Chains A and B, each alone.
Chain A
Amino acid sequence: MTVPAGGLAGSSSPLDSTEAARPANGTPVLEAAGLTVYHGQLRALDSISLRVYPGEVYAIIGANGAGKSTLLRTIAGLHHATTGSVLLEGADVTGLRPERRARLGIVMVPEGRRLFGSLSVEENLKVGATYARRGPWTIERVYETFEWMRDRRDQQTAQLSGGEQQTVAIGRALVANPRVLLLDELSLGLAPVVVQRIYAMLPHILETGLTVLLVEQDVSQALRVATHLQCLLEGRTTLEGRPDEVTADQVEAAYFGLAGTASIPREGSESS
Chain B
Amino acid sequence: MTWVNAIIQGLLTGGLYALFACGLSLMFGVMKVVNLAHGDLAVVGGYVAVGIITVTHIPVLWSFVIVVPVMAVIGYALQRTLIQSALNRGVLTTLIVTLGLSMVIENALLEFFSANTRGIGAGMTLVTGSFRIGSQIELPYLLLLIFAIAVAVLLGLQYFLSQSSYGRLIRAVADDKEAAQLSGADYRHVFGIAAALALGTVALGGIAYGMYQSLDPTAGTDTILLFAFVAVVIGGLGSLWGTLAGGIVLGVAQQIGAQVNLSDELLAGYLVFLLVLVLRPQGLFTRRASS
Contacts and interface: CB of A to CB of B under 8 A. Distances in A.
A128 interface: yes
Interface of A: 76-78, 97-99, 102-103, 107-108, 110, 114-119, 123-124, 126-128, 130-132, 172-173, 176
Given A116-B176, A117-B175, A126 B168 contact: yes
Nearest to A124: B172
B231 interface: no
A97 B178 contact: no
A130 B169 contact: yes
Q: For B169, B176, B183, B184, which residue has the most chain A Cβ atoms within 10 angstroms?
A: B183
A118 B179 contact: no
A131 B168 CA distance: 13
Contacts, number: 79
A128 B165 CA distance: 11
Interface in B161-217: 165, 168-169, 171-172, 174-176, 178-187
16 contacts: A78-B178, A78-B181, A97-B186, A98-B178, A98-B182, A108-B182, A116-B176, A118-B175, A119-B172, A126-B168, A127-B169, A130-B168, A130-B169, A130-B183, A131-B185, A132-B184
A70 B111 CA distance: 53
A110 B182 contact: yes
A123 to B, nearest CB: 6
B185 A99 contact: yes
A159 to B, nearest CB: 14
B288 interface: yes
Contacts of A124: 172
A131 to B, nearest CB: 3
Interface in B266-291: 288, 290
A130 B184 contact: yes
A76 B186 contact: no
A127 B176 contact: no
Nearest to A76: B182
Sorted nearest first, the 4 A-B pairs with minimum C-beta distance are A131-B184, A114-B179, A102-B184, A116-B175
A99 B186 contact: yes
A108 B179 CA distance: 9
B80 to A, nearest CB: 14
A114 B184 contact: no
B184 A176 contact: yes
A77 B178 CA distance: 11
Contacts of B176: 114, 116-117
Given A114-B176, A116-B172, A99 B181 contact: yes
A131 B190 CA distance: 13
A110 B178 contact: yes
B242 to A, nearest CB: 15
Contacts of A107: 182-183
Contacts of A128: 183
Contacts of A118: 171, 174-175, 288, 290
